[in-house]
């Protein structure tokens, strides 16, 4: 096959190859490859000549060819699941932004793939067998994580965002945010404001994350010797549930403040307050979890526990580099602490 001639002033149909650069620089293809991957091997003047040819031609190594040869795609697979309508939660989307940003600095791109919500494993296998990605970032660990077990068995490199709830001593790499610490922070904040009867609205008992967050509220209350009896409620993660749970709690336990496992639930609390003519922050304090857009724009602002997702992304990428390095470093397990975004509701 003859090479398409490069007509000056016209964008070539096919991008330049190593051979094009080599010809222009008057060296062999391997020398160009070295100039790109091991520049220190070249004599300064040769390097200079090759680099000029590279930039004149606008050469960039063909990804497919490089991938084939190096058996690496520099792609990180991330499965994204549908976001339920009617909730405030957008943690994953925020995380995706951070991950794309951070991994790009490490030379990786993020490949998104959809998964069947009913099958936590779906999607991974094909990508793995086709060697389409170098590693995965696993996020949906809310119900144990079969993915981790499965990927480990397949010897596929991966980092989980979310600790292995079902087996705390699992050896794989993970990064998580300490939800208990976050709720402790939120509760302590309210205690310091003078509240004594602080109610908890969380998720159902089968949610590890929910129980973890709840434990933060519980321990903060206990550390001040306060009773929690009758002050806790476990419901579905919907605005409606938050609304009715808070109504019941208000009637039966007279709390002066609420800590919620999510902003979605907290929005339900705000609804109850609105219905009863109570002012959030003045009459009753409310704290949510996730620092969603909703928390940021609702009146008068919803105080909320904020996960340091940018930091999570950094740790995830660091762990990934470790796993993918030569030699691979041992799996990192990192726990980060959230902060509290203070707003009008407290």
Q: What does 149 bind: DNA, a copy of itself, none (CB cut-off 5 to 8 Å by kind)?
A: none
Closest CA to 216 of 262, 259, 167, 263: 259
Find the angle CA(283)-CA(289)-CA(293) to the nearest 5 degrees.
90
- Is residue 224 within 8 Å of residue 193, measured between CB atoms? no
Which of these ranges, 112-120, 168-176, 228-236, 246-254, lies near a copy of itself under the rule CB under 8 A? 112-120
Q: Which residues bind DNA (CB under 7 A)?
A: 1, 14, 17-19, 27-31, 33-34, 36-37, 41-43, 45-47, 59, 61-62, 65-66, 68-71
172 vs 79: CA distance, rounded Å: 18
Q: Which of 39, 114, 117, 146 binds a copy of itself (CB under 8 A)?
A: 114
Closest separation in Å from C-beta 7 to a copy of itself = 13
Q: Is 135 near a copy of itself (CB under 8 A)?
A: no
Q: What does 41 bind: a copy of itself, DNA, none (CB cut-off 5 to 8 Å by kind)?
A: DNA
Q: Which of 147, 292, 333, 346 binds a copy of itself (CB under 8 A)?
A: 292
CB-based contacts of 285: which residues, under 8 Å, 6+ apart?
190, 193, 195, 256, 257, 258, 303, 345, 346
The smaller minimum CB distance to DNA, of residues 33 and 271, is found at 33
Q: Is 73 near a copy of itself (CB under 8 A)?
A: yes
Contact set for a copy of itself, span 169-228 (CB under 8 A)? none
- CA 138 to each of CA 28, 76, 145, 180, 216: distance values in angstroms, whole numbers, following the listed order: 43, 10, 9, 21, 25
344 vs 274: CA distance, rounded Å: 15
The smaller minimum CB distance to a copy of itself, of residues 118 and 130, is found at 130
Q: Is 241 near a copy of itself (CB under 8 A)?
A: no
- The 8-class DSSP code of residue 328 comes to P
Using CA atoms in the order 150, 151, 152, 155, what is the torsion angle rounded to 10 degrees?
130
97-106: buried (b, 16+ CB within 10 Å) or exposed (e) per residue? ebbbebbeee
Q: Which of 293, 328, 329, 342 binds a copy of itself (CB under 8 A)?
A: 293
The smaller minimum CB distance to DNA, of residues 40 and 169, is found at 40
- Is residue 72 within 8 Å of residue 132, measured between CB atoms? no
56 vs 24: CA distance, rounded Å: 10
Q: Which of 4, 28, 30, 60 binds a copy of itself (CB under 8 A)?
A: 60
Closest CA to 140 of 86, 199, 198, 79: 79
> 294: buried, middle or exposed (CB in 10 Å: 19+, 13-18, 0-12)?
buried
Q: Which of 34, 51, 53, 94 binds a copy of itself (CB under 8 A)?
A: 94
Q: What does 328 bind: DNA, a copy of itself, none (CB cut-off 5 to 8 Å by kind)?
A: none
Closest separation in Å from C-beta 125 to a copy of itself = 8
Structure tokens at 206: 């089968």
Closest separation in Å from C-beta 11 to a copy of itself = 6
Closest separation in Å from C-beta 26 to DNA = 7
The residue ranges that bind a copy of itself (CB under 8 A) are 11, 13, 15, 58-65, 67-68, 71, 73, 75, 80, 82-83, 85-90, 93-94, 96-97, 100-101, 104, 109-114, 126, 128-132, 153-155, 239, 264, 267, 270-271, 274, 292-294, 296-300
């Amino acid at each position: 096959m003859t090479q398409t001639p490069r007509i000056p002033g016209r964008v070539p149909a096919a991008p330049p190859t190593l051979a094009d650069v080599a010809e222009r620089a008057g060296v062999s293809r391997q020398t160009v490859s070295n100039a790109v991957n091991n520049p220190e091997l070249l004599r300064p003047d040769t390097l200079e000549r090759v680099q000029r040819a590279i930039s004149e031609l606008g050469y960039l190594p063909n990804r497919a060819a490089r991938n084939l040869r190096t058996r690496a795609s520099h792609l990180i697979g991330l499965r994204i699941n549908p976001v339920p309508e009617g909730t405030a939660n957008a943690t994953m989307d925020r995380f995706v932004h951070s991950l794309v940003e951070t991994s790009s600095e490490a030379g990786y791109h993020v490949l998104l793939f959809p998964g069947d919500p009913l099958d936590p494993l779906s999607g991974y296998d094909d990508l793995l067998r086709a060697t389409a990605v170098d590693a995965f970032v696993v996020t949906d660990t809310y119900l144990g994580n079969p993915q981790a077990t499965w990927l480990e068995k397949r010897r596929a490199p991966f980092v989980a965002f979310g600790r292995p709830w079902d087996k705390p001593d699992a050896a794989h790499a993970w990064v998580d945010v300490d939800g208990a610490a976050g709720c402790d922070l939120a509760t302590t904040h309210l205690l310091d404001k003078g509240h004594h009867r602080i109610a908890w609205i969380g998720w159902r008992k089968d949610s590890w994350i929910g129980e973890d967050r709840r434990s933060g509220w519980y321990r903060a209350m206990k550390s001040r010797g306060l009773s929690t009896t009758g002050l806790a409620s476990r419901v579905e993660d919907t605005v409606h549930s938050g609304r009715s749970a808070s109504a019941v709690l208000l009637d039966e336990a007279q709390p002066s403040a609420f800590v919620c496992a999510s902003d979605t639930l907290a929005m339900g609390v705000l609804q109850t307050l609105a219905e009863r003519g109570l002012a959030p922050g003045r009459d009753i304090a409310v704290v949510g979890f996730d620092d969603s857009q909703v928390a940021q724009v609702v009146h008068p602002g919803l105080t909320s526990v904020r996960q340091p997702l940018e930091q999570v992304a950094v740790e995830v990428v660091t762990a990934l580099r470790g796993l993918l390095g030569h030699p691979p470093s041992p799996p990192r397990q990192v726990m980060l602490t959230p902060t509290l975004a203070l707003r009008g509701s407290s």
